[in-house]
Structures are given as structure tokens and as C-alpha cells.
Amino acid sequence: MSHAPQPLGAPAVRREGRAKVTGTARYAAERGLPGCLYAWVVPATVPAGRVTAVRTVDALAQPGVHSVLTHDNAPRLHEPDDPILAVLQDDRVPHRGWPVALVVADSLASARAGAEALHITYETTEHDVVLTEDHAGLYTPEEANGGYPAVRERGDFDRAFAESPVRVDVTYTLEPLHNHPMEPHASTARWSPEGHLTVYDSSQGATKVRDSLAAAFGIGTDKVTAVSEHVGGGFGSKGTPRPQAVLAAMAALHTGRPVELALARRQMPALVGHRAPTVQRVRLGAGPDGTLTSVAQEIITHTSTIKEFVEQAAVPARVMYGSPHSRTTHRVAALNVPSPSWMRAPGEAPGMYALESAMDELAAELSLDPVELRLRNDPADEPDSGKPFSSRGLAACLREGAERFGWQDRDPAPGIRREGALLLGTGVASATYPVYASPGHASAHAAPDGTYRIAINATDIGTGARTVLAQIAADVLGAPLDDVAIDIGDSDLPDASLAGGSSGTASWGWAVHKAASGLAERLAAHTGPLPDAGVTVTADTTEETAEKSPYARHAFGAHFAEVAVDTRTGEVRMRRMLGVFAAGRILNSRTGRSQFIGGMTMGIGMALTEGSTLDPVFGDFVESDLASYHVPVCADVAAIEAHWIDEDDPHLNPMGSKGIGEIGIVGAAAAVGNAFRHATGVRLRTLPLTPDRVLTHLA
Ligand code: MOS
């Protein structure tokens, strides 16, 4: 690598890439601690009720089995900060798959054999896992996720909609979805003789894991170290701590030995969260020229009986298009389902599927080009708050995307492009994602040999966080990138926020920028050689990140998709997909492109193959392995391109960056669904567009 300083934005390669591809990067369940035991979670086999008895004698008689933890003998927890972490504390079964026992053995095989030999009896109660539009349990919560008000009304929606000359009134239904990162949720826990807990956890934020474990075990945060050095994906399911970390720490406490616990793939659907299903009614009223007069998006979703989780799917409608009259609402029902949780662009991904599909339906009603419809409704200020946008690149993304994709030549007539038995079509949809930043701490050290070391408890879940943070520091210090080392992924480093809300680079980068700037100042003022210990500067961005902005700050984007629909088999294949994003300054073009393309790929999965079915009798998800839950593979994503528009937005952070981890998925499924409609003339208002559904509707 060159020793000249590289500009911020350069395609620096991932620092840990070599360690990962050569297998030397160690993940949470690869620590190889001496004397380590292995734990296996025993999930409830009933969807609601309580455990009446656990007979452990046969399990304990299995060779190698060390202990069986149940609610009778497991360590008592103090105050877990999330009810999903209160495992093995009582006999209640809130949903199928809830942990009711943990078998600990000297090998994984023995632990599984022990689990097979457990006899558990239950008292079952009625259960209900089916969300319907008229479910008696539906209520309006105080807030939807993210602290957004559940209900917002502007103007007089009902009257404006009734008086609109052109209207669409459509309902979209989305099944639950699962994150399924390649690395399952896993932890290795160890207690020192002095009572210090160390947990290697596959997580998106080790500071949060440390804090949650300290709360659960009733000890100081200085008595816990959480390490998330390498993480094989998360997508939100590892955003907040998961039960495996608590269970591994309990088992280690109970046995006095290190304990490793990796969830099996089939245990993940019930234990690590899912994107909640939504039923979304969207009503759009417009004038004959396509100017929106009224927008309503009303969400129904589910949560579990142990926590309120409200997918904020109507929130993007408060940002996207101007209209004087608007209603955006959320209602939720608590069912006997596993607790839903975060999944890439929670709120935006499902909400924009519905809104952007409805915009396509409106364009068809108006006989107006769907790009043009969006351009005509691009507001000057954020519709719901009235705040000016710090920058809003939607129109630029739509125009550049249309140009690159060749949208100009598109014949809007549906169902007429044939290639043998295939029907071809193209579709467009917009994307948006909010700009967040959290407080962080970082240190920057200069050594006498001219090298630097940055420390911050950031997490790299495959995004390139390590690399881009080093780039930010190198840029501030005017140093070659190779001269800047970085330590992340350990809660003994300066505290930082988790990798979530597409805020990692903004939050951690801000702290790193501040520490490096402070160090640069110190060095500039220094004369003579540095002391042997070097010079260290620390930074805390609590104040600057807490400042309320007078601006509405969001990233925007536009997706263009082309599909081929096989009229014999019902298979929908992607021909090509192109996204253009306006997300501030892109700080690493290589890893940035990868984030966009990754999000778009997940959107293709959402559109075509991914879906989780709650079995009403069984009470849990049917798709519990990667043979039945189909994530896209390379062969499904033939031609995919991501481009961006460089924005110079001074209202964000010192780097001028917006988040890029999530916006790639937002609107992607709508673009594919809109392309499907253009190909076939048939509008399906549910996903995924699997062959069975497609054939039923084409017939
Ligand atoms: Mo993401 S779902 O904010 O980890």
C-alpha cells in the first residue's frame, strides 16, 4: 500500500480481510478457553403455558453431561434491562422456543444428548399467534419504535381524500422476516476467581452487552468485559443483547468453568427476534396532475406478551412526499409469539414497501410516469415537521438512476414484453433513512516512532468499521493509513454506541475525529521528540451529539429493477438492479458500495424469497433453517449496481457523512414488486413473490 496519505473516501481494503479469509480471525465461539464446557439450549415445545416439571436424571446420566440448568436451579438475575434476557427465572412459557433449560457438558455432542434425554412437562394455555386486521387485541400504543409518536395527523385527511379526483386505497401484507446472519448468535463466558465476568459475544455493540450483563447479574460495569472482536453479520438481530450471553454467563457461574454457547440455526427464529409482520393500508389522494393532496398510512403489527415492540412502518410517510393532509398511525396486538426485534431498516423497509408500491399504483391511475410522480411531490421542507432538510437528494437520485438505467425508453404498458415464456418489466421506488448519531468516547495515541493508535469500542459486523475509522483518523492526522492502528470490539476500550441505526460511522467517527483533532493540536504545539510513552488524547462527543438540529436530516435514494417472470413456473428472476443514493459524503468507496449492494440484495430477498410463517397450531415459525428460509445467493443477484451522489452537507458531523448500512434495503422490494406488475400487469400486494403465489395470480 502507498505511503502517501489517502483522501477520505478512498477504497481502502478491510483491515481484517486477510485474517477472516485465512480463518485466523476468532469469533465468539472460537476462543478455545482451557476447560471450556459447552451449552445447549432446550426450547419450550408449547406456545403458551408453564413448565410443570423437568426430570433431569436421565440427562445427567448421559456421559459428559455436567449440569442441567432450569428455572429451579439457575442463578437468580437482578434486573435485566430487557425482558427477553430474563431466562430460566420462572416457569412461564411466553412463546414456543423460549428457553426452559440449558444442558452443559464437556462436549457439544454430550450437551445435545443430554437435552434429548430431558423430560419436560407443561401445562398449556390457549395461544394466539395470528395477526388479523380486526384482531380484538389491537391497541394504539403511546409510541412506535424509535420514540416516534404512534399517531400523527395533519390537516383533514378524510375530507381531503374524499375530495381528491384521483385516489388509491390499497392494503399490503408482509409476513415476518428473519435476519439470519451467517454467524449464529454465540457467546463464550468466563468468571475469574475474583468475580470478573468476561463474555465473548457475537454482538453489534459490546458496551451495551457489558451494561446489560452487569444489570442482569447485579454487578458493577467495571466487573464485566464484553468482547465482540469479529462478528459474522447481525442486521439488527445482534443490536441488543440476546439470551445466549446471559445463559452462557449463568452456566459459567453455575459450573465455575468457561462455557461456550452457540445457538443452532433452527433455534434462532424464536430467540433472536424477527421483523414483525405488518398489514398496511395506504391511501393516496391526488389532483389530475399528480400533486398529492392527502396521504394516509395505517399500520397493524404484532408484538410478544413480554415486551412492546412496534415496527414504526408509517414513519417514512412523514418524511417522503409533500401533502397538506396526512394521517400516519400504528396499532399493535400482543400475541403468544417470539419477541420481534430489529431488522435492517426497521420501520423504513416494510413501510416504504407499502408506500412506494402505492405510489406506483397511483402513477398507473394517473397514467403518469412513476419517476415524474415522485419528482412532482418532492417537498421543500419535511412534511411532518416543517423543518428544512439539511440536504435532500431524492430528485437527483431519481434523475441519475433513470439516466443510468435507461428509464427514458420505457413503455409504461404492462404485460406486453415477452421473451418466449418470460414476461419482462421494470420498476422504480424511492428510499430514505434517517441520520442518527450517538455519543462516543475515543482515544488517540501518538508514539515516538511516528505511528498512531486509535481506541474505541466500535463494532465491525462486516461493514468495514475498523477500516473507515482508521481512515478518518489518518485524514485528520495527515498520516499514511498504514501508520494508524486501531483497536475496537472490547468494552475495556473507550465506551461507544452499538452498530445500529446506520449510525456507527457517524457516532464513532465523530469521537475518533475529535480525539485525532485534539492529538494533532497537541503534536503541533509540541517541540522536540515525544516522550517514550507517547502522547494520548481522549475525546467525548456527548455534548455535540446531543445538540438538536434545526434541520430534518435523512439520506435518500432511488432503486431501479428489471425482472423476468416465467409464466410456466412462476419464478421471478432479477435481470438487473441499480440504486443511486444520496447519503452525505461516502468515506470509503469500496466498503460503502458493499453496504449499498448488501442492502439491495436483502431487499431482493424480501421481494422474492424470504418469508417466515407463523404456524397457528404449532405457534412458531415454520422456516427454521436456510433450506426453507431462502436468502439470496450470488446466482439470484446477477447484475447489481450502486452509485451515489456526493453531498456536501455541513449540518451532519465533522465528516459530512450520513448512514449507509440500511438505506440500501429501503424501497428495494417495492422496486422489484413494481417491476413485477409492469412485467405481468398483475399487482400482488404481499411478499415474497414466490412461484406458488405468482402462478395463482397469473392463471
Ligand atoms: Mo440495525 S436494524 O439498526 O442494527
DSSP annotation of 46: S
CB-ligand 1 contact for 501 (6 Å cutoff): yes
Residue 1 confidence (pLDDT) above 70: no
**527 and 570 part of one domain:** no
Cell of residue 686, nine digits:
404481499
Ligand 1 centre and the CA of 29: distance in Å? 23
**520 and 414 part of one domain:** no
**113 and 255 part of one domain:** yes
- Give pLDDT tens digits for 479-527: 999 999 999 999 999 999 999 999 999 999 999 999 999 999 999 999 9
Whether 558 is covered by a domain: the verdict is yes
CA distance 168 to 293: 12
**657 and 608 part of one domain:** yes
- Give pLDDT tens digits for 398-451: 999 999 999 999 999 999 999 999 999 999 999 999 999 999 999 999 999 999
CB-ligand 1 contact for 273 (6 Å cutoff): no
Listed in sequence order, the DSSP H helices in 383-457 are 394-405
Q: What single letter denotes the amino acid at residue 137?
A: G
User: Of 507, 528, 546, which residue sits at a domain end?
Assistant: 546
CB-ligand 1 contact for 427 (6 Å cutoff): no
Which CATH number goes with the domain that contains 221? 3.90.1170.50
User: Of 546, 564, 595, which residue sits at a domain end?
Assistant: 546
Report the atom number in ligand 1 closest to the C-alpha of 235.
4
Q: So what's the pLDDT on residue 3?
A: 60
Whether 154 is covered by a domain: the verdict is yes
Whether 136 is covered by a domain: the verdict is no
Ligand 1 centre and the CA of 342: distance in Å? 6
* Contact of 79 with 215, CB cutoff 8 Å: yes
**499 and 542 part of one domain:** yes
DSSP annotation of 479: -
Whether 115 is covered by a domain: the verdict is yes
**327 and 476 part of one domain:** no
How many CA atoms, within 13 angstroms, populate the side-chain half-sphere of residue 210? 25
Range of the domain at 508: 437-546
Kindly report which listed range (5-9, 125-129, 221-225, 307-311) carries the lowest average pLDDT score.
Answer: 5-9
Whether 23 is covered by a domain: the verdict is no
**354 and 475 part of one domain:** no
**266 and 322 part of one domain:** no
Report the atom number in ligand 1 closest to the C-alpha of 343.
2
Q: So what's the pLDDT on residue 638?
A: 83
The CA distances from residue 433 to 279, 344, 464, 658, in Å, are 21, 11, 20, 9
Which CATH number goes with the domain that contains 308? 3.30.365.10
**H or E segment and range at residue 298:** strand 292-303
Number of compact structural domains in the chain:
3
Q: So what's the pLDDT on residue 24?
A: 96
CA distance 571 to 689: 8
Candidate of 348, 662, 663 to mutate for ligand 1, largest count of ligand atoms within 8 Å of Cβ = 662
Beta-sheet pairing, 197-201 with 224-227: parallel
**242 and 315 part of one domain:** no
Whether 26 is covered by a domain: the verdict is no
- Give pLDDT tens digits for 335-373: 999 999 999 999 999 999 999 999 999 999 999 999 999
User: For the residues of 522-573, what is the DSSP string, one character each?
Assistant: HHHH--SSPPTT-EEEEEE-HHHHHPPPSSB-EEEEEEEEEEEEETTT--EE
**H or E segment and range at residue 207:** helix 206-217
- Give pLDDT tens digits for 11-37: 999 999 999 999 999 999 999 999 999
**571 and 694 part of one domain:** yes
CA distance 462 to 136: 42
Whether 71 is covered by a domain: the verdict is yes
- Give pLDDT tens digits for 465-484: 999 999 999 999 999 999 99
Cell of residue 334, nine digits:
400482543
Q: Whose CA is nearest to atom 4 of ligand 1?
A: 236
Whether 412 is covered by a domain: the verdict is yes
* Contact of 237 with 184, CB cutoff 8 Å: no
CA distance 527 to 36: 52
CA distance 473 to 466: 11
**692 and 566 part of one domain:** yes
Report the atom number in ligand 1 closest to the C-alpha of 342.
2
**507 and 566 part of one domain:** no
543 is catalytic: no
Q: So what's the pLDDT on residue 699?
A: 73
User: Of 512, 546, 580, which residue sits at a domain end?
Assistant: 546
